[in-house]
Structure 1
Amino acid sequence: MAASSSSSEKQVVLIGIDDSEQSTYALNWALDHFFPSPIFKLVLIHSRPTATSAVGFAGPDSDLRKIAARVLETAKQLCFNKSVNDVTAEVVEGDPRNVLCDAVDKYRAAILVVGSHGYGAIKRAVLGSVSDYCAHHAHCTVMIVKKPKIKH
């Protein structure tokens, strides 16, 4: 009996990345636990704000493009350093909550990995937690990776 194409296809691990240390920690964690692997394929998604929503926040559109390029370059370098070379990386304009959930559907991801920023209740209520939203709306398993707090 021939194996179906779906059984030989690699499952997608999709990682939401930004320029935070929590994102870098989550990416490193996922690389250490899932890769290199014969069964997983890595997709990195960076959501960047639209220029109109970011005016006065991060400067003009060219600054947003530079930040996005730097985020992707840093993430790809981390992957390369851990011998993970088969990486799809994409920058998508929009709200990270929607961007990540849409990417899960586009790539038929088996798992979505996001970092936790550890916002307090007030900041989370104002900004909205990306990880919380994805946990409730993404059509796949969602892993929220928390950076351990350093005890003094």
Structure 2
Amino acid sequence: MLGLKSGVYAMPTVVDSVKKAQDAHSAALLAKAFEVCKQRLVKAETLVLEGDPKEVICQAVEQVNADLLVVGSRGLGKIKRAFLGSVSDYCAHHAKCPVLIVKPHK
């Protein structure tokens, strides 16, 4: 007997709707962060990129010649981090500039 594969497929309109919502959320979040930096006289640049976060972040650091990369840490435990990987850990070891890792507030 042949094995059956199942999958979930979204209609293009649903995919487009989700993409637009993600884009709007990203734009609002970056605008707020940019304004905070501006108020504190911190030169900042914002980008919205797609792909594997750890790879894309490190590539962007090189492209914009960043002086400092600030990344958040979700505070995963050792076991979860081993399975899921850590974007902040990857960036700390591969980014071409100093990296500041901000841990979550307790």
TM-score (ref. length: structure 2): 0.72
Structure 2 residues without counterparts, runs of 5 or longer = 1-8
**Structure with higher RCO (Cα < 8 A, 6+ apart):** 1
Partner Cα distance (2:101, 2:44) in 1 = 21
Give the structure 2 partner of residue 136 of structure 1. Answer: 93
Mark the CA change 1:65 to 1:90 in structure 2 (over 3 Å): closer, same or farther: farther
Larger helix percent? 2
Mark the CA change 1:68 to 1:125 in structure 2 (over 3 Å): closer, same or farther: farther
Tell me if the contact between 1:115 and 1:144 (Cα under 8 Å) persists in the aligned partners: yes
Q: 2:24 aligns with which of 64, 69, 88?
A: 69
Kindly, what percent of the aligned residue pairs are identical?
46
Say whether 1:108 aligns with 2:62: no
Structure 1 residues without counterparts, runs of 5 or longer = 1-54
Matched residues, number: 92
* TM superposition outliers: structure 1 runs of 4+ over 6 Å: none
TM-score (ref. length: structure 1): 0.52
Question: C-alpha deviations, 1:19-49, integer Å up to 9, x for none?
Answer: xxxxxxxxxxxxxxxxxxxxxxxxxxxxxxx
Partner Cα distance (2:93, 2:57) in 1 = 12
Larger strand percent? 1
Partner Cα distance (1:71, 1:130) in 2 = 18
* Counterpart AA for 2:45: T
